[in-house]
């Protein structure tokens, strides 16, 4: 049985951890270094760090914060936000990240994914896909870029397949509608992508209770379980979640 990993997500704005609902209405959730220490102590298997306004503000990821987090983390961590070139990816990895997450730039310039996979290895390349429902597309989901602001007209599952073919080692789909709503992950989106690719898929957007994590594995087929606000605000403790998953037949690391 595969071991499912738990991945808290630090959404970073102006050097602080923040969390919103459907990508807006952000509220402060603490210092990223302190959050990282706590999550590592509580049993996190991975960590995500997303500089959520970097792309919209047309700037690079805040490398000083990446370095500070790298200095205290005891688990692998993935960094995204504002990574638009191979040099950006190289700088983030040099600052201590284990993987880079590429979204808008990878969509606009798919050759970036090929170059990054060739330079660093596919295992270090995560492709993040923000998606929302669009019944006119084959999968029913459309890719959004620029922090979820710009519709592309592209089918999300088809883009996941292309991203894998270009070199993505992990796919990270996030449902715009479910993000921060705590009503559960978008299971059809996760399952649609999981069924279409061979690489690991991260469930993201919508976890509000432990049952949602279990559904993401048993129904969606997710390999990694990402969440933010339920961890940031102490609603779910990672160690308790992992025990719950094990008690319900899901192996954890």
Catalytically active residues are: 11, 130
Strand partners of residue 11:
18, 50
Cα R_g (the chain), whole angstroms = 16
DSSP codes of every residue in 43-68: T-S-EEEEETTTTTTT----HHHHHH
SS3 109: coil
Give the β-pairing of 16-21 and 24-30.
antiparallel
SS3 35: helix
Distance CA 43, CA 39 (A): 6
Other residues' Cβ atoms within 10 Å of the Cβ of residue 253: 12
User: Which one, of 98, 64, 110, 56, lies nearest residue 81 by Cα?
Assistant: 56
SS3 108: helix
Q: Tokens standing for 58?
A: 């047309």
Task: Tell the residue number behind the tokens 């706590």, with chain if given.
Answer: 38
202: Cβ contacts below 8 Å, ≥ 6 apart = 7, 126, 170, 171, 172, 173, 222, 223, 224, 225, 226
């Amino acid at each position: 049985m595969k071991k499912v990993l738990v991945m808290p997500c630090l959404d970073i704005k102006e050097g602080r951890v923040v969390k919103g609902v459907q990508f807006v209405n952000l509220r402060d959730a603490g210092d990223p270094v302190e959050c990282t220490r706590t999550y590592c102590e509580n049993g996190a298997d991975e960590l995500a760090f997303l500089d959520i306004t970097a792309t919209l503000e047309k700037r690079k990821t805040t490398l000083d914060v990446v370095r500070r987090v790298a200095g205290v983390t005891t688990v692998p961590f993935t960094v995204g936000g504002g990574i638009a070139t191979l040099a950006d990816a190289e700088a983030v990895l040099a600052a201590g990240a284990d993987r880079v997450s590429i979204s808008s730039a990878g969509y606009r310039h798919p050759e970036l994914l090929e170059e990054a996979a060739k330079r660093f290895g596919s295992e270090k390349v995560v492709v993040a896909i923000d998606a929302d429902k669009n019944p006119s597309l084959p999968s029913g989901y459309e890719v959004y870029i620029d922090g979820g602001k710009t519709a592309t007209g592209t089918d999300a599952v088809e883009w996941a397949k292309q991203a894998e073919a270009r070199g993505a080692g992990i796919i990270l789909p996030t449902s715009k509608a479910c993000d921060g709503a705590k009503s559960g992950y978008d299971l059809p989106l996760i399952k649609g992508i999981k069924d279409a690719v061979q690489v690991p898929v991260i469930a993201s957007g919508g976890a509000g209770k432990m049952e949602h994590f279990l559904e993401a594995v048993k129904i969606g087929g997710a390999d990694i379980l990402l969440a933010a606000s339920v961890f940031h605000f102490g609603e779910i403790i990672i160690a308790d979640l992992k025990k719950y998953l094990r008690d319900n037949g899901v192996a954890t690391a």
